[in-house]
Structure 1
């Protein structure tokens, strides 16, 4: 190459490098968080009448986890949860139930569910499915958060949140298992219009539970 040709090529190469350097950086699209709340539909409200003295209202979120919501609704309508204890309750963490054996090892006769992990945070009052080590091992057990545990986000399927009666959740006896465990006297879907058992007061319709910060603890699982 002649010296003249070299001087002609260098500006072209320099201009090309500048053009590349000025190309905008491609950034991944931000992850969209699910809405914090949706309109209340009685067909998607789970009522738990607890032995602690009142009714807990849980807004189910089929927009987050449709398969898990349908499972819980089906089991509630079958009467599956009636009489089941809260077998694992850790103060400042969560209250777990949904095992008819009361040991943490049981479930329903239905097949396990494929995970529907989502971005809904595990706040105080969030309701999420328990599982074993496999992501696709949730069945009938679920837990209600007593305090936030954000380390559970996207690792457990959140499918609802308490919108009334959180004080009855707070009153559940603590222990693994508790010495005198609280139990679900009746689980029902609000659209079905079932009244609380005679021993309980009328349903509470309080505001959603407050958000409180706390340190992470171990994740709840079946074992």
Structure 2
């Protein structure tokens, strides 16, 4: 079911081009204490696995129904001990199927696709690039692309369309061939994959543990199905963990001057090859017990 739909999105073409030598720009200044923000324990998903811990910041601004589903299933222990049943190197790691085959789901109804969201002037957003007719930047930790602010005045709700970008670490919801068939299975990106954008719902991003995502056992086969897979041992919101076990995360605020300097440095370093996926937002993690 979900396995086949996501498999159809895999592309084999690789783009290459000449690399131009560029003068190195000086590193940005160190951030001040006010340049950091605490990730709310209500929006921090703690995924313990057989390979280590993964922390995901949820993004209800982008996909409120999907975030609510993830929270509900985590609170009920649905994800505990489920396999990373489909892992493709240089693509993604998929889980959330109680059958471990790609055919299972929760007992809750399927979700309507939330492939895009509406961005208004009250949503914190930091642009880092402005391709023709759009803006690319961040909503908290999640890279997004949106229509420009100038179009807000001409819409009924004074908002514009936006959508999440599938950079490494971005969390997406798996689905069957129909747009409104996501349920419990999700995937975490091991590498960037733009072909998924506006086709699969983005609901968060890994803020710590991307190295763990990339070490989950991958399949040597094109379908990605893993034999003797790694597993999630426990999945909870940080707020639902005992205080002594609760990790805390400080992340550079993507609306801060320090982040803008970091983005400028990345843009200058990469030149015409710059992508929003080149920006790693710094984090400070206190792990908990």
TM norm structure 2: 0.55
Counterpart check, 1:189 vs 2:237: yes
- What is the CA-CA distance between 1:195 and the residue it aligns to? 7.8
TM-aligned CA deviation for residue 120 of structure 1: 1.0
CA deviation profile, 1:30-83 (whole Å, cap 9, x unmatched): xxxxxxxx962110111100101x211000000000000000000000000000
Identify the residue that residue 49 of structure 2 maps to in structure 1: 50
Change over 3 Å in CA distance of 1:211–1:108 after alignment to 2:
same
1:57-206 matches, within 5 Å, as 57-118=55-116, 119-175=163-219, 176-194=224-242
What is the TM-score of this pair, normalised by structure 1?
0.70
Question: 2:244 and 2:110 mapped to 1: Cα distance?
Answer: 30
Rounded Cα–Cα distance in structure 2 between residues aligned with 1:131 and 1:178: 19
Distance 2:47 2:188 in 1: 12
Residue 193 to residue 157, structure 1, CA distance change in 2 (3 Å): same
Paired with 2:227 and 2:243, the residues of 1 have a C-alpha distance of: 29
Larger % of strand: which?
A: 2
CA RMSD of aligned residues (A): 2.5
Q: Is the 8 A contact 1:91 1:146 kept in 2?
A: yes
The answer to whether the 8 Å contact 2:74/2:236 transfers is yes
Native 8 Å contact 2:89 2:218 kept in 1: yes
- Deviating above 4 A after TM superposition, structure 1's stretches of 4 or more consecutive aligned residues are 194-197, 202-208
Change (3 A) 1:151 1:206: farther
Which consecutive unaligned segments of at least 5 residues does structure 1 have? 1-37, 213-223
Aligned residues between the structures:
170
The answer to whether the 8 Å contact 1:163/1:206 transfers is: no
Q: Gaps (5+ residues) in structure 2?
A: 1-36, 117-162, 253-275, 279-289
